[in-house]
Amino acid sequence: MQVDDKTFIVNSPASLIAFFSVVKQIFMDKKFVTFTWRIGQDRSLDQNALLHVWLTEYAAHLAGITKKQVTVEMIQFLKRKSKEGYYREYGHEWVVSREVDPGTGEAGKPFWRSSADYKVGEMFQFLTWLQMHAANDGCVLESRGQYAKLQREQNQ
C-alpha cells in the first residue's frame, strides 16, 4: 500500500507486488535508488497525522488565531515544548536520544527523539498526555483514528 511518494507499507502479497512495481519504475527512471525499512507492525500513520492535527489546533487555540494562520515554526515549537513537558512530567527515556561518538563511545548532548520513531504504545501515551494538557488550557482535542480505537480498547 503506497502511503505517499516516499512511504510504502508491505503487509500482503498484493502490496508486495505493488511495491516491486514502484521500485522497478523508480529504477528505470532514475537508475539508482536507496531504500530503508522497518520490520514489524508500527503505529499507524493515523496517529502521526493526528499528532500534527492536534498540534495545529492547539497552537491556534493558544495564539488565538485560525488553524490556517498557524505556521510550521509554531507547530515545531509546540512539538518541542510538548516533548519537554511530557519528559519533565513522566521522565520516560524513550523521548530522548543521544548521538554516540563511534571512536570514543562517549554519548553526546541529548536531543528530542523524532515522534515519527515512537512505537504504538509510546505515541499513545504521548497523545494522551497532550490531550489532557491541552484540555487544561481549555482546548478540546478530539480523539480520532487509531488513537480513538486504542482508547476504546483500553476502556473495555
User: pLDDT by residue (tens digit) across 46-61?
Assistant: 788 899 999 999 999 9
pLDDT band, residue 40 (cuts 50/70/90): low
pTM attached to this predicted model: 0.68
Q: Across residues 2-15, what is the average pLDDT? A: 66
Q: Give pLDDT, residue 15.
A: 73
Higher pLDDT, 16 or 38: 16
Whether pLDDT at 102 is above 80: yes
Q: Are 82 and 127 in contact (CB under 8 A)?
A: no
Question: What SS3 state is found at 6?
Answer: coil
Question: What SS3 state is found at 69?
Answer: helix
Q: Across residues 19-41, what is the average pLDDT? A: 81
pLDDT band, residue 109 (cuts 50/70/90): confident
- What is the DSSP code (8-state) at residue 100? E
The cell numbers describing 41, all together, are 507492525
pLDDT band, residue 113 (cuts 50/70/90): very high
Q: Give pLDDT, residue 3.
A: 46
Q: Across residues 128-144, what is the average pLDDT? A: 95
**Rounded distance, CA 21 to CA 86, Å?**
42
Whether pLDDT at 75 is above 90: yes
Residue 134 CA: distances (Å) to CA of 82, 85, 137: 10, 12, 5
